């Protein structure tokens, strides 16, 4: 029987956590390496198919598995289901770092010998999310050609695998995932909203445990690949749900729990400035993507696709201006206005770090809605592609000639609106909680609500105007 | 606090949302009257429809002539059962009655190149009521999240001293 407990959250409300690892079957499935490896191998096979078909298959994006399976099927599943409900679970089976990790470990399963690679620590100066933020923005600048051209999708994925291998052979553990992966930072931020967490049951047990096998590793498993000491975990941002700590803890003190959504978003805890910045860059990116990809301007799309041309340079400058300067600047202005209105002594830096996590629900909703809009329109490309994976005229499933059929109609628009508004309501609640925690009340919250309203208005304009 | 008092904000907000969705964006008296014939020529080329937005009034009989100037393009209007395909130099025509107010996305229904999934336009029947309804609901969402759903902590954590 799963153990349920009712601790109090930082906001004082009662929360219920359900310890899934108290269920013997679930625990045995998670501790055993076989099931995870099976999913990982399937993911690697999928990755190889995508890279091969991207390089060798048809250049028509809507007919090639590289673009259809990655940017329609996988991306939608990630943003609409995996991240909101399972957090970083995808990172535990993601195929991109696996070749590098297997080489580094010299093993597919449990520890065996010393492994390969230099095992250097990741440079102190490059820790944090800044490099990941930069990697995300750089990939985002080229996203339209990558989204639409199978060859570029394949090259991007192959390039990420090669970088991950190189990093794994030079640096320790999963430095690539923790500090470089452009998608990893994205997933980590929004995993805070998910109702799933890996945490220790009792930190005092860890404090008394001298060998700290969850971090150093043991014969049963590897020390935390994500370079996190599980006893200090307070959010999902840096935990890759790789399950190693579950295997290496000899005291049965690590749990995987269901929890209320957004339990990581504590109004009394400021985040690091790089994490705050990530939150703002991502919400700005969601807005720009929605405007460029779903908006009415074909000229904007043409500019985004024409990499290297003068119009693309203008687009790139605009993208950077909005995501790196305008959105963070507006948010900073909103939090500053709130501080002034409430007459509270608080630095601009702390205001930013306190309120930025409140945008996580709205940002997640923006990405989920954007992704849903895209997948509903293009979902009918998936079956034809699966039926003829490399464009050789096959009809494996009898669906090769299936016509394009958008799903949802006008209801789809309202579904997007509902998702964005749910995110807005959730963010508004958290904004109020932060403002109250800073004793600023509604006055302090109002400008930040105004900022959230502006972002929402932009999204709604794209979705239904 | 009684159970009724606790539920009151939710009931009030729900009622407000229903009223807003029902009323906001209803055609005003100054709106053009529908029921006339409208002929629109839409050019499709290089992943763009021109004009990108077609505006008509509810009840209008709309005839769209789709003319492709580069490769084969399609025109599909979500929410209306409208589909047509045009080869280059061979315009195609379709007629329908715009009997449902709102904004509907127009998409190219024939793969026409890399940017095909993003080739879109809009059919706007009447004023953009859906957008204004959604905006009104956004204000309600802020009120709901910031007021109704927020609860004062039972045991507040560390707080900053007021200046």
Tell whether A372 is covered by a domain.
Answer: yes
Let me know: does A261 contact A360? Beta carbons within 8 Å.
no
Tell whether A2 is covered by a domain.
Answer: no
**Global pTM value:** 0.89
Residues A355 and A207 in one domain: no
Nearest CA in chain B to A453: B138
- C-alpha to C-alpha distance for A75 and A183, rounded to whole angstroms: 11
Tell whether A93 is covered by a domain.
Answer: yes
Let me know: does A285 contact A371? Beta carbons within 8 Å.
no
Tell whether A376 is covered by a domain.
Answer: yes
Cα angle for residues A451, A455, A460 (degrees, 5° grid): 140
Nearest CA in chain A to B135: A457
Give B162's pLDDT tier (boundaries 50, 70, 90).
very low
Contacts of A131 (CB under 8 A, 6+ apart): A179, A180
Q: Which domains does chain B have, with CATH numbers?
A: 3-25+133-148 (no CATH), 31-126 (2.60.40.420)
**Cα–Cα nearest to A77, from A151, A193, A195, A187:** A187
pLDDT score of A27 more than 90: yes
Query: Which chain B residues are Cβ-neighbours of A343 within 8 angstroms?
Result: 162-163
Query: Which chain B residues are Cβ-neighbours of A340 within 8 angstroms?
Result: none
Q: Using the 8-state DSSP alphabet, how is residue B30 labeled?
A: T
Which pLDDT does position A177 carry in this prediction? 96
Residues A63 and A182 in one domain: yes
- Residue % of chain A over a pLDDT of 90: 77
Which pLDDT does position B34 carry in this prediction? 64
pLDDT score of B127 more than 60: yes
Residue-averaged pLDDT of chain B? 81
ipTM above 0.90, yes or no: no
Residues A307 and A226 in one domain: no
Residues A74 and A215 in one domain: yes
Residues A353 and A252 in one domain: no
Let me know: does A347 contact B161? Beta carbons within 8 Å.
no
Residues A184 and A309 in one domain: no
Which pLDDT does position A151 carry in this prediction? 95
Residues A205 and A326 in one domain: no
**Domain's final residue, options A240, A258, A276:** A258
Which pLDDT does position B2 carry in this prediction? 59
Residues A311 and A221 in one domain: no
Residues A254 and A121 in one domain: yes
CB contact under 8 A, A409 and B79: yes
Query: Which chain A residues are Cβ-neighbours of B84 within 8 angstroms?
Result: none
Secondary structure in 3-state letters for A297-327: CHHHHHHHHCCCCHHHHHHHHHHHHHHHHHH
- Residue % of chain A over a pLDDT of 70: 97
Tell whether A271 is covered by a domain.
Answer: no
> Facing residues of A306 across strands?
none
Give A9's pLDDT tier (boundaries 50, 70, 90).
very low
Q: Does B81 touch chain A (CB under 8 A)?
A: no
Count of domains for chain A: 2
Nearest CA in chain A to B78: A409
Tell whether A270 is covered by a domain.
Answer: no
Q: What is the mean pLDDT of residues A11-21?
A: 70
Q: What is the mean pLDDT of residues A297-312?
A: 92
Tell whether A45 is covered by a domain.
Answer: yes
Q: Give the Cβ contact number of residue A153 at 10 Å.
A: 27
Residues A227 and A362 in one domain: no
Would you state the structure tokens that stand for residue B31, as one six-digit string?
A: 């709106």
Give B33's pLDDT tier (boundaries 50, 70, 90).
low
Q: Give the Cβ contact number of residue B89 at 10 Å.
A: 8
Q: Give the Cβ contact number of residue A130 at 10 Å.
A: 16
Which pLDDT does position B157 carry in this prediction? 46
Which pLDDT does position B153 carry in this prediction? 61
Q: Using one digit for the tens of pLDDT, what is the confidence trace for A409-426?
A: 778 888 999 999 999 999
Query: Which chain B residues are Cβ-neighbours of A409 within 8 angstroms?
Result: 78-79
Which pLDDT does position B5 carry in this prediction? 62
- C-alpha to C-alpha distance for A7 and A14, rounded to whole angstroms: 6
Residues A158 and A304 in one domain: no
Residues 100-139 of B with CB under 8 A from A: 100, 102-105, 107, 109-111, 114-122, 128, 130-131, 134-135, 137-139
Residues A229 and A355 in one domain: no
A123 phi, psi to nearest 5 deg: -55, 135
Tell whether A165 is covered by a domain.
Answer: yes
Residues 35-74 of B with CB under 8 A from A: 46-49, 52-53
**Domain's final residue, options A241, A258, A275:** A258
**Domain's final residue, options A258, A282, A314:** A258
- C-alpha to C-alpha distance for B104 and B115, rounded to whole angstroms: 20
Q: What is the mean pLDDT of residues A90-99?
A: 96
Which pLDDT does position A10 carry in this prediction? 42
Which pLDDT does position A315 carry in this prediction? 95
Contacts of A138 (CB under 8 A, 6+ apart): A182
Residue-averaged pLDDT of chain A? 91
Q: Using one digit for the tens of pLDDT, what is the confidence trace for A143-189?
A: 999 999 999 999 999 999 999 999 999 999 999 999 999 999 889 99
Closest Cα in chain A, distance from residue B145 (Å): 4
Give B154's pLDDT tier (boundaries 50, 70, 90).
low
Which pLDDT does position A171 carry in this prediction? 96
CB contact under 8 A, B154 and A8: yes
- C-alpha to C-alpha distance for A390 and A136, rounded to whole angstroms: 29
Q: Which domain holds residue A102?
A: 18-258
Q: What is the mean pLDDT of residues B70-80?
A: 90
Which pLDDT does position B113 carry in this prediction? 84
Q: Per DSSP, which regions of A156-307 are E strands?
A: 196-200, 217-218, 221-222, 254-258
Q: Using one digit for the tens of pLDDT, what is the confidence trace for A324-375?
A: 999 999 999 999 999 999 888 889 899 999 999 999 999 999 999 999 988 9
Closest Cα in chain A, distance from residue B113 (Å): 7
Which pLDDT does position B155 carry in this prediction? 52
> Which stretch of A118-122, B19-23, B121-125 has the lowest confidence by average pLDDT?
B19-23
B87 phi, psi to nearest 5 deg: -80, 160
């Amino acid at each position: 029987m799963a153990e349920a407990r009712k601790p109090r959250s930082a906001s004082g409300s009662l929360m219920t956590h359900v310890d899934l690892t108290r269920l013997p079957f679930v625990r045995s499935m998670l501790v055993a390496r076989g099931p995870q490896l099976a999913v990982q191998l399937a993911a690697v096979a999928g990755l190889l198919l995508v890279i091969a078909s991207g390089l060798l298959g048809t250049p028509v994006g809507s007919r090639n598995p590289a673009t259809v399976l990655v940017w329609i099927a996988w991306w939608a599943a990630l943003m609409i289901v995996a991240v909101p409900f399972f957090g970083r679970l995808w990172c535990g089976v993601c195929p991109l770092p696996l070749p590098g990790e297997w080489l580094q470990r010299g093993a597919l399963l449990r520890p065996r010998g010393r492994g390969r690679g230099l095992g250097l620590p990741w440079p102190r100066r490059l820790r944090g999310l800044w490099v990941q933020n930069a990697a995300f923005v750089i990939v985002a600048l080229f996203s339209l050609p990558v989204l639409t051209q199978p060859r570029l999708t394949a090259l991007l994925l192959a390039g990420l695998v090669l970088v991950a291998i190189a990093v794994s052979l030079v640096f320790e553990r999963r430095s690539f995932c923790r500090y470089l992966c452009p998608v990893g930072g994205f997933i980590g931020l929004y995993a805070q909203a998910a109702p799933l967490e890996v945490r220790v049951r009792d930190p005092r047990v860890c404090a008394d445990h001298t060998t700290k096998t969850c971090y150093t590793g043991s014969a049963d498993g590897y020390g935390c690949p994500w370079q996190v000491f599980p006893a200090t975990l307070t959010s999902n941002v840096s935990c890759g749900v790789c399950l190693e700590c579950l295997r290496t803890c000899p005291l049965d003190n690590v749990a995987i729990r269901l929890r209320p959504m957004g339990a990581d978003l504590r109004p009394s805890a400021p985040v690091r400035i790089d994490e705050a910045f990530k939150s703002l860059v991502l919400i700005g990116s969601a807005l720009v993507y929605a405007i460029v990809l779903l908006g009415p301007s074909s000229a904007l799309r043409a500019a985004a696709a024409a990499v290297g041309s003068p119009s693309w340079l203008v687009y790139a400058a605009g993208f950077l201006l909005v995501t790196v300067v305008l959105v963070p600047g507006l948010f900073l202005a909103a939090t500053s206005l709130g501080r002034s209105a409430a007459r509270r002594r608080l630095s601009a830096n702390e205001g930013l770090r306190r309120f930025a996590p409140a945008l996580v629900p709205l940002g997640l909703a923006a990405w989920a809605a954007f992704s849903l809009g895209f997948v509903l329109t293009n979902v009918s490309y998936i079956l034809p592609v699966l039926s003829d994976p490399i464009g050789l005229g096959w009809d494996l499933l009898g669906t090769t000639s299936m016509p394009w059929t958008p799903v949802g109609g006008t209801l789809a628009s309202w579904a997007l609106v509902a998702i964005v508004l749910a995110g807005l309501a959730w963010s508004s609640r958290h904004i109020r909680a932060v403002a109250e925690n800073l004793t600023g009340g509604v006055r302090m919250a109002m400008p930040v609500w105004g900022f959230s309203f502006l972002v929402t208005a932009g999204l709604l304009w794209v979705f239904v105007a | 606090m009684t159970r009724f008092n606790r539920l009151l904000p939710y009931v009030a907000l729900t009622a407000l949302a229903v009223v807003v969705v029902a009323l906001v964006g209803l055609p005003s008296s100054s709106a053009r009257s529908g029921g006339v014939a409208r002929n629109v020529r839409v050019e499709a080329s290089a992943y763009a429809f021109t004009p990108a937005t077609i505006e008509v009034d509810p009840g209008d009989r709309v005839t769209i002539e789709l003319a492709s100037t580069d490769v084969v393009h399609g025109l599909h209007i979500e929410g209306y059962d409208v589909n047509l395909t045009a080869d280059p130099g061979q315009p195609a025509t379709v007629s329908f009655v715009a009997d449902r107010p709102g904004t509907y996305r127009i998409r190219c229904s024939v793969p026409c190149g890399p940017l095909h999934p993003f080739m879109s336009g809009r059919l706007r029947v009447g004023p953009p009521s859906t957008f204004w309804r959604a905006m009104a609901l956004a204000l309600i969402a802020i009120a709901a999240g910031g007021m109704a759903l927020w609860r004062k902590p039972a045991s507040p954590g560390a707080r900053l001293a007021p200046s």
